[in-house]
Amino acid sequence: MFFEQITGNLIQGLVLGSVYGMATMGLSLIFGVLKIVNVGHGAFIMVGAFITLWLFNTLGLSPILAIPAAFAVGMLLGLLFYYTTMRRLIKAPELASLLATFSIGILLEEVIKLIFGSEFRGYNWAVGKLNLGVTVLPMSKLYACIGSAIIALLLYIWFNKTRAGTAMRSVVEDSEGARVCGVNVDGTYAMSFAIGIGLTVVSGVLLTMFIPVGINPYMGGGYTLKAFVIAVLGGLASPYGAFFGGLVFGLIENGSYMLFALIPGVEPFALTRFLSFVILLIILLIRPTGLLSTK
Residues that bind another protein (CB under 8 A): 1, 5, 8-9, 12, 16, 110, 113, 118-124, 126, 129, 135-136, 138, 141, 210-214, 216, 218, 221-223, 253-254, 257-258, 261, 267-270, 272-273
CB of 220 to another protein, least distance (A): 11
CB of 124 to another protein, least distance (A): 5
Q: Based on CB atoms, which residue is closest to another protein, 36 or 207?
A: 207
Rounded Cα distance between 7 and 139, Å, is 18
Q: Based on CB atoms, which residue is closest to another protein, 165 or 221?
A: 221
Rounded Cα distance between 141 and 127, Å, is 10
CB of 204 to another protein, least distance (A): 12
Q: Based on CB atoms, which residue is closest to another protein, 5 or 293?
A: 5
Q: Which amino acid is located at 209 in the chain?
A: M
CB of 96 to another protein, least distance (A): 24
Rounded Cα distance between 54 and 77, Å, is 18
Write the CB contacts of 120 (distance below 8 Å, at least 6 apart in sequence): 213, 214, 215, 216
Q: Based on CB atoms, which residue is closest to another protein, 12 or 192?
A: 12
Q: Classify 125 in phi/psi space as left (phi over 0), alpha (psi -120 to 50) or beta.
A: beta
Q: Based on CB atoms, which residue is closest to another protein, 124 or 294?
A: 124
CB of 277 to another protein, least distance (A): 12
CB of 14 to another protein, least distance (A): 12
Write the CB contacts of 102 (distance below 8 Å, at least 6 apart in sequence): 39, 40
Q: Based on CB atoms, which residue is closest to another protein, 58 or 294?
A: 58
Burial of 181 (0-12, 13-18, 19+ CB in 10 A): exposed
User: How many Cβ atoms sit within 10 Å of the Cβ of residue 207?
Assistant: 26
